[in-house]
Structure 1
Amino acid sequence: MRATRDISDRHDLDVLLRRFYGAAFADPLIGPFFTEIAGTDLEAHLPRIADFWERALFRTADYGRDAFAPHAALHAARPLTAAHFGRWVQLWHASVDGLHRGPRAERAKEQGERIALALLRRLTGPAAATEGTGGGFVPLAALELRSVA
């Protein structure tokens, strides 16, 4: 499928999130956080995360949950590193780029990078985003992934 249009509605978000989580669950680096540690039920998780992204991109959904708490619980079970967040952003960029082009798609990628960096800093301290934390956080705007499994 060739990316030809921007993210325009909740349906687009649902398709995008299914593509992203399919890749994330299968990824050897970050997949275990979803499948083994959190035991994420994708069907239960998708409506909540779609609310988050709908609010971020369209300002049309309510999202009043604490997005930090689940990540803190994961970090307590197995430390999340810059490499984990970097991989998340790589997969997010590839998923968005594989389906969409336009201002909202760019905003989704930028927002994903900001969220990943903020979570990393909050979980591990400000220096962890740039210093030796298991690979370092890669500025993913400089990377191009051609496909996602």
Structure 2
Amino acid sequence: MITSPPGTPDIGDRADLVALLRRFYEAALADRLIGPYFTEIAGLDLEAHLPRITDFWERALLRTADYDGNAFAPHAALHDTRPMTAEHFGRWVQLWRASVDGLYAGPRADHAKVQGERIALAMLRRLSGSEDTDGDTGLGFVPLAALRLRTDL
């Protein structure tokens, strides 16, 4: 388990989410595996996207924003253009968790990591047509929380 330095703050407000999302997208856009989905396929305009995705996460974590969008639809469109696999979603989770751990520690930060993993798995299931509820998608996706990561290798 990654531990943050003592005194690391928890996610407290929308400004914290904006900082987190900027950090995450900086890593995701540069990533060789998932970056092309953002840059080449979606042509993501981060400044235009940031307020909407911040609403999504503010609603999910802080319960203080109204989000009435459909987060699945744009992912389905991307998947139709270039199918996304368990490897893609696993990488997304890895970058999301690292982004959270790099800035925050506490109950909301922990919830953000768990929620990100749940969302990734739900998206993968829907896109692949696998609606299994037992957590075994048969798709090769192993939630990162289930792995023991060793730094001494």
| TM-score, length basis structure 1 | 0.89
Displacement of 1:125: 2.3
Match of 1:116 in 2: 120
Aligned to 2:137: 130
Verify: 1:6 aligned to 2:10, yes or no.
yes
Q: Which residue of 2 aligns with 1:40?
A: 44
Q: Pairwise mapping of residues 77-92 of structure 1 onto structure 2 (< 5 A)?
A: 77-92=81-96
Which one-letter code corresponds to 1:117 in the other structure? L
**2:78 match: secondary structure:** helix
Corresponding residue number in structure 1 for 2:71:
67
- Percent of paired sites with the same residue: 72
User: Over aligned residues, Cα RMSD in angstroms?
Assistant: 2.0
User: Structure 2: which amino acid aligns with 1:31?
Assistant: G
2:89 maps to amino acid = F
Runs of 5+ unmatched residues, structure 2: none
Residue range with higher mean Cα deviation, 3-12 or 106-115: 3-12
Q: Shift of the alpha carbon at 1:5?
A: 1.2
In structure 1, how many angstroms separate the alpha carbons of the residues matched to 2:81 and 2:24? Answer: 23
C-alpha displacement of 1:144: 4.8
Give TM-score, length-normalised by structure 2.
0.87
Equivalent position SS for 2:101 = helix
CA distance in structure 2 between the aligned counterparts of 1:72 and 1:145, rounded to whole angstroms: 34
Runs of 4+ in structure 1 off by over 6 angstroms are none
Q: Which runs of 5+ in 1 are unaligned?
A: none
Deviation at 1:13, TM superposition (A): 0.3
The alignment of Structure 1 onto Structure 2 pairs a total of residues equal to 143
Residues 23-63 of structure 1: per-residue CA shift (max 9 Å, x gap): 00000000000000000000001100000000011111000
